[in-house]
Structure 1
Amino acid sequence: MSRELGTERELQATKAVIGELAKHLDVNICLELWDGTIIPLGQGAQEEIRFVIASANVLRRLLRQPSLISVAELYATGDLDVVGANPVDAMRHVDHLQFLALPRKVNKARMLKMALPILLKSYSVSSFVKRFTKEAGVTPNSGRNDKEMIGFHYDLSNEFYSLFLDKEMVYSSAYFPTPDSSLDEAQLYKLDLICRKLRLAPGDKLFDPGCGWGGLLCHAARHYGVEAYGTTLSEEQFAHVKAKVATMGLGDRVKVELRDCRSLADDQIFDKIAQVEMIEHVGIANHQDFYKYLRKHMRPRGVYFGQASFRRNTARPEDFPRLTPYMQFIIKYIFPGGELDHIGMTTGVLEQAGFEVHEVEAVREHFGYTTEHWVRRLYDRREEGAALVGMPQTRIWLLYLSLCALSFHRGALNAFQVIATNRRSGASGIGFDRTTVYGGARRVDADDARANMLKSA
């Protein structure tokens, strides 16, 4: 946190600037300055939840570099804080579009004159925030190091992720049977839904590329009797899955390897493939080759399940590749090399790669609930997070998850589940009643699954 609070002139200038900006805002929140002054940012704004500015350096930086990156770094170091609520609840009171419209509403010459005592000094930048500084690269053949980027995100520590994930350590959108279902209930429901959508049957060979902490692998093997194989590039995830499989006694049905999922032996063929929120790491330029690769390792009419986050499409195709401020923040601090396509792009590329698309289900609001649960859980255990990865990193994650929650709730981001098959002429094998029984897939207990597998052998 900045030690230099600012001179009296800077304090008065800050009050004048914030007061002028507040005339053009109507948000239900207040701003607290370092001397204790509280300034409402809207008519009747409540004081219980407040944004707190720790020094003149905060406004100095925001005036010179007004960006989400600036807000993120200031929040991470505590120079910009929220009191009275967790970040997602606080930001619900803020319409960010009002802030984006400010440059068109304020008198710039008047603002410059008021802010001059603040702008005379340069702002300082903290070095305590972990960021990814390398170029991601477009393809694996052009310097894209996926293992390094995956490690940046997932190898923080398994203990850190356990602070906010469910008991099964599922790091993807849950599926809530009801809005008041618990996170643990919703994640188990989602795992079971994936198995049913895949029409899993005892003896099926299931591939989970980017298998995370092994929740789906173990659930499918235990309850649907499949032979499950997963890959990950994360050292931390790999260690966790190996230990989990051993503890559950699933070593004869679940195998996980620390390797790139694109390095399978040519003769490894699967009946079903589940790709759960890992395509975001692949890079849009690599999507078509990646789906072709998956299809090469599927039997004819093998079933593919995909779940991912998506951006909205743009009116002009040439505008879509432009990085939004949100995505610039994400790739710098959270997901280096990450990219989100739109749902039309995904279904189109799947068809180009030789798949037949059967089902597309929007799960945006489920992801909003999921990320909101993650925020609340991490916020309640933020001191434990700080002990594991440092407070700046913990606060960056709180901001990231809060922005995700609001983006899904407001529809700025979307999420979909997609079912496709390895296309062949003739019947798809999917069946007709897909909204209830998903082709007759049913859970089996572990003993039944083992017995069926021995019979088939």
Structure 2
Amino acid sequence: MTGQNGTQRQLKATLALLDEVAKALDADIAIELWDGTRVPLGRKPDPDLTIRIADPGVIASLLRRPGLDRIIRPYIKGLIDIKGGTLYDVGLLFAFSPSRKRLKRIPKGTILSFLSAFLFAPGVDLNAGRAFSGDESDHGKNRPKSDETEFIQFHYDVGNDFYELFLDERRLYSCAYFSDWNNSLDQAQHDKLDMICRKLRLKPGERFLDIGCGWGALIFHAAENYGVHAHGVTLSDAQLIHVREQIKAKGLEDRVSVELKNYVDLEGPFDKIASVGMMEHVGEDNLDTYCATINRLLVDKGLFLNHAISRKAKKGQKGKNRFSSRPEQRALQKYIFPGGELIDLGRTISSLERNKFEVMDVEGWREHYQWTTKLWLDRLEANRDRAVELVGEDVYRIWSAYLSGSSLAFLRGSARLYQVLVSKNPKGPANLPPSRADLYR
């Protein structure tokens, strides 16, 4: 179906469907169609917040191959755009709304007319821009180490200058800790570093390892404030170069070191170990190897702090916890974190206990990460022009969508964040204080 008649039929069918959608949702937003028509989806729409569909071919392509990945692609390419806000603002309207039940009330005849107007119409090219070209879902035991390096470098080597646009002054790329919700991101990230060091009860002269050290904030904080000998490992060349430059600039060559190495190849021993935002890259098939390796690297009675995003466990779930089959997880693997997999808290703790650790403390930071990702999004949006200049429109849009989706996932509770503190070999005294009071001095 092409030509003027076909286009008019598509417009008429779309307007009819949107009229029914508006009755069902009554949402404070509008849809702007390819011909400039603006259709409110509620009685009092936000005068600015609008979803713009640039071409009717977008709808045709989405209907023929529906799915979250296919929705993300036209956004990346600018064929679907958000005016007057972000994807977070749009998602927030529906985060706690029973919209699916209401949409089921739309007359079937209206839906059929809409489908017939688009199913055989010309589509648009929805080939992705920046997407991982390999097997982004490979998180099995037999994946080669070269794959893990490619996964990490795909995400982190976008460029240090880009990450500086939305991260804090220390360039921390993990959940901050807000002792007060009004604290700045810089303050909250400093407090996160200090809380990790306090939970590990770091002492002068101890050997401390940070697995997946990022741009080095934790190893520098631990060495400068707690007197430890800190070592970091990363698989990112960009991060490695930055940390080495900072070690030299700070004059910490005798107390801080870093190397480009897979954690399984490390040699110990270390007195204390932290893994902050790294376990998400491990994959459930490799979880026991991960825990066993950390046990091997620790001294007896040594402490390990695991800080990781998780998914909630499914009721009545048997066998493996395959969150990677979820549409949002597959999209995350393709565009942001190839090889990544989220593991529920219960399975993480079970693996730690199987590998001779005793759980000493568990703390949920879900709301802290919701606020962290929202602040990152706000900072990225404030630096949009510079971001596009550095990495291009498609990469900027990918990260904007990723941060929006992440913040909404933590808000809804479909994603969680836990810090788990464990001690090696649960026999005799754990050599820890009798309460948590020292953490909040």
- TM-score interval, normalised by the smaller of the two chains: over 0.9
Tell me, yes or no, if the aligned pair for 1:29 and 1:94 is still in contact at 8 Å: no
- Alpha-carbon distance between aligned partners in 1 of 2:439 and 2:14, rounded to the nearest angstrom: 62
Aligned to 1:289: 289
Residues 223-246 of structure 1: CA distance to partner in whole angstroms, max 9, x if unpaired?
111000111111111111111111
Counterpart code for 2:142: N
- Choose the corresponding residue for 2:229, options 218, 227, 230: 227
- Choose the corresponding residue for 1:370, options 372, 380, 392: 372
- Alpha-carbon distance between aligned partners in 1 of 2:359 and 2:412, rounded to the nearest angstrom: 27
Alpha carbon RMSD of aligned pairs, Å? 2.0
Aligned to 2:322: 321
Work out whether 1:166 is the aligned partner of 2:168. Answer: yes
Aligned to 2:65: 65
Counterpart code for 1:264: L
- Alpha-carbon distance between aligned partners in 2 of 1:54 and 1:288, rounded to the nearest angstrom: 48
More moved, 238-247 vs 369-378:
238-247
Per-residue deviation at 1:142?
Answer: 4.0
Aligned to 2:341: 339
Counterpart code for 2:386: E
- Alpha-carbon distance between aligned partners in 1 of 2:57 and 2:99, rounded to the nearest angstrom: 19
Aligned to 1:93: 93
- Alpha-carbon distance between aligned partners in 2 of 1:315 and 1:128, rounded to the nearest angstrom: 35
SS of equivalent to 2:265: coil
Aligned to 1:131: 131
More moved, 74-83 vs 313-322:
313-322
- Alpha-carbon distance between aligned partners in 2 of 1:49 and 1:381, rounded to the nearest angstrom: 20
Counterpart code for 2:42: G
Per-residue deviation at 1:53?
Answer: 1.1
SS of equivalent to 2:241: helix
Aligned to 1:83: 83
Aligned to 2:244: 242
More moved, 139-148 vs 279-288:
139-148
- Alpha-carbon distance between aligned partners in 2 of 1:52 and 1:340, rounded to the nearest angstrom: 33
Tell me, yes or no, if the aligned pair for 1:14 and 1:115 is still in contact at 8 Å: no
Aligned to 1:415: 417
SS of equivalent to 1:7: helix
Tell me, yes or no, if the aligned pair for 2:367 and 2:411 is still in contact at 8 Å: yes
More moved, 147-156 vs 20-29:
20-29
Aligned to 2:195: 193
When residues 95 and 194 of structure 1 are mapped into structure 2, their CA distance, relative to the original with a 3 A threshold, is closer
Aligned to 1:405: 407
Work out whether 1:37 is the aligned partner of 2:37. Answer: yes
- Alpha-carbon distance between aligned partners in 2 of 1:28 and 1:55, rounded to the nearest angstrom: 23
Per-residue deviation at 1:137?
Answer: 3.0
When residues 274 and 385 of structure 1 are mapped into structure 2, their CA distance, relative to the original with a 3 A threshold, is same
Gaps of 5+ in 2: none
SS of equivalent to 2:274: strand
Per-residue deviation at 1:81?
Answer: 0.9
When residues 95 and 138 of structure 1 are mapped into structure 2, their CA distance, relative to the original with a 3 A threshold, is closer
Counterpart code for 2:11: L
Q: Percent identity?
A: 38
When residues 35 and 282 of structure 1 are mapped into structure 2, their CA distance, relative to the original with a 3 A threshold, is same
Per-residue deviation at 1:37?
Answer: 1.6
- Alpha-carbon distance between aligned partners in 2 of 1:311 and 1:115, rounded to the nearest angstrom: 35
When residues 59 and 140 of structure 1 are mapped into structure 2, their CA distance, relative to the original with a 3 A threshold, is same
Work out whether 1:382 is the aligned partner of 2:384. Answer: yes
Counterpart code for 1:206: F
Per-residue deviation at 1:361?
Answer: 0.4
More moved, 40-49 vs 188-197:
40-49
- Choose the corresponding residue for 1:359, options 358, 361, 377: 361
Counterpart code for 2:425: R
TM-score (norm 2): 0.93
SS of equivalent to 1:190: helix
- Alpha-carbon distance between aligned partners in 2 of 1:178 and 1:61, rounded to the nearest angstrom: 46
Gaps of 5+ in 1: 441-457
Counterpart code for 2:186: D
Tell me, yes or no, if the aligned pair for 1:271 and 1:299 is still in contact at 8 Å: yes
Aligned to 1:216: 218
Per-residue deviation at 1:105?
Answer: 3.4
SS of equivalent to 2:418: strand
Per-residue deviation at 1:50?
Answer: 1.1
Q: How does 1:138-149 map to 2 (within 5 A)?
A: 138-139=139-140, 141-143=142-144, 145-149=147-151
When residues 317 and 281 of structure 1 are mapped into structure 2, their CA distance, relative to the original with a 3 A threshold, is same
Counterpart code for 1:349: S
- Alpha-carbon distance between aligned partners in 2 of 1:344 and 1:128, rounded to the nearest angstrom: 36
More moved, 63-72 vs 337-346:
63-72
- Alpha-carbon distance between aligned partners in 2 of 1:329 and 1:96, rounded to the nearest angstrom: 22
Residues 391-433 of structure 1: CA distance to partner in whole angstroms, max 9, x if unpaired?
1111111011011111112211111111111114201111212
SS of equivalent to 2:94: coil
More moved, 7-16 vs 188-197:
7-16
Aligned to 2:263: 261
- Alpha-carbon distance between aligned partners in 2 of 1:62 and 1:106, rounded to the nearest angstrom: 19
Q: How does 1:294-309 map to 2 (within 5 A)?
A: 294-309=294-309
When residues 238 and 334 of structure 1 are mapped into structure 2, their CA distance, relative to the original with a 3 A threshold, is same
Per-residue deviation at 1:130?
Answer: 1.2
- Alpha-carbon distance between aligned partners in 2 of 1:89 and 1:9, rounded to the nearest angstrom: 31
- Alpha-carbon distance between aligned partners in 2 of 1:406 and 1:114, rounded to the nearest angstrom: 30
Work out whether 1:184 is the aligned partner of 2:189. Answer: no
SS of equivalent to 1:42: coil
Tell me, yes or no, if the aligned pair for 2:195 and 2:439 is still in contact at 8 Å: no
- Alpha-carbon distance between aligned partners in 2 of 1:179 and 1:71, rounded to the nearest angstrom: 33
- Alpha-carbon distance between aligned partners in 2 of 1:204 and 1:68, rounded to the nearest angstrom: 47
Counterpart code for 2:382: D
